[in-house]
Amino acid sequence: MRWCICKSHGIIDYRSADAPPARKPDEVRISESVGLGGVNAYSDVLKIQQLLDKIPKINGGPAPLLATDGICGPLTRGAILDFQKKQFPANPQFHDGWRPDGRVDPGKWTIDKMNVIANWGSRTDLLEIARKQAPVARARVMNALHRLSVVRSSYALPSPLFSNAQLKREADWHFKFHKSAYPLDNIDAVSTIYQRMNAALSKFIAGSFPLFQLSDHYREDALAYAHVGGYSFSIAEIESGEQGAYIYVANERFGSLPVIIHELGHYCGGRFKSGREIDHVSTPHPKPNGGAREAGKHDYRRMTPEEALKNVYSYQVYALPEMGYGPPELGVI
């Protein structure tokens, strides 16, 4: 499994990690099952009621809050089931056939997720931030697709009706189409990634897919991370104890538009070691030439077309021209 972690709001200081850090130690544990068909010991029920009451409604918490009386009545059982449905949606194949059952068992998925969200409940509602940023990110992605369509026309037709020298120069700077033996194929490959970004964001905006999730691995030094190629993961697909189909928020400072686009780049490429994964190849910072990152051999100016197709920074800064990493005004690109 490969995680790609965003550490800052800027374009620098991103890095990859081969495994997530350890869980936070301040988690609630129960001795026996709580809920429908559970043992329902007083102390365990009380802990689950208190945990649920710390969880925002938007994340599956109860509204109104539960009475913390240690009695597992219909409201408590219903709150457990509602939480499970919110956090593990539409998953008949989830975890060897498990589906929401209204019960919390020691050391299992439900209490793990309750602990994560309850510990984050007093922080900024990061998923709400993602919801607000998603339409803005989608607009940037759609704009990138529009610009690429103009560039494609200039490569495909001898006398294109729609052509723009500045748009072509911009796209060539980020993706090196002008250096490729097959520029149309490369333009189509880049467009496919942006189309996947649009599809993922559209489903998230419509409420049909919970693209962004709170991470089980809170970090002080990272904002978010994505499983490489997560777009192609099934909901039930688990590696290293985590669902690969989501983008994870790992820090309360999450919310930057560049971070969302950056993680979508990792998420919408191929899987790790597929040869089509989108990784940290070369960053355009510092200007004018940028520098190679861990998966690259060349700086941003000297990237090959093949490297550019797999460079997450290319997708990020092309979709966000306001970041100021466009082509130099003069000189060879």
Distance CA 199, CA 72 (A): 41
88: alpha, beta or left? (left if phi > 0; alpha if psi -120 to 50): beta
For residues 219, 105, 89, 1, the Cα torsion angle rounded to the nearest 10 degrees is 40
If asked whether residues 169 and 264 sit together in one domain, one would say: yes
If asked whether residues 266 and 197 sit together in one domain, one would say: yes
If asked whether residues 92 and 193 sit together in one domain, one would say: no
If asked whether residues 82 and 144 sit together in one domain, one would say: no
What is the pLDDT of the chain when averaged over all its residues? Answer: 85
Domain boundary among 106, 135, 162: 106
For residues 115, 118, 123, 129, the Cα torsion angle rounded to the nearest 10 degrees is 90
Mean of pLDDT values over 40-55: 96
If asked whether residues 43 and 186 sit together in one domain, one would say: no
Indicate whether 175 belongs to any domain.
yes
Task: Judge whether residue 3 has pLDDT over 70.
Answer: no
- pLDDT tens digits along 181-225: 999 999 999 999 999 999 999 999 998 999 998 776 555 556 788
Per-residue pLDDT, 219: 58
Distance CA 96, CA 19 (A): 23
Specify which of 95-104, 149-158, 314-323 reaches the highest per-range mean pLDDT: 314-323
Is 122 exposed, middle or buried, given 0-12, 13-18 or 19+ CB atoms closer than 10 A?
exposed
Q: Is 141 helix (H, G, I), strand (E, B) or coil?
A: helix
If asked whether residues 61 and 168 sit together in one domain, one would say: no
If asked whether residues 101 and 232 sit together in one domain, one would say: no
- 275: confidence class by pLDDT, cuts 50, 70, 90: very high
Q: Is 5 helix (H, G, I), strand (E, B) or coil?
A: strand
Per-residue pLDDT, 8: 46
Task: Judge whether residue 310 has pLDDT over 70.
Answer: yes
- pLDDT tens digits along 284-302: 999 999 999 989 999 999 9
Indicate whether 28 belongs to any domain.
no
- pLDDT tens digits along 95-112: 556 788 999 999 888 998
Domain that holds residue 55: 34-106
Percent of the chain with pLDDT over 90: 60
**Lowest-confidence segment of 144-148, 167-171, 242-246, 329-333 by average pLDDT:** 329-333
Torsion sign, CA atoms 266, 271, 272, 274: negative
Indicate whether 200 belongs to any domain.
yes
Structure tokens at 91: 């998953």
CATH number at residue 284: 3.40.390.10
How many structural domains are present in the chain? 2
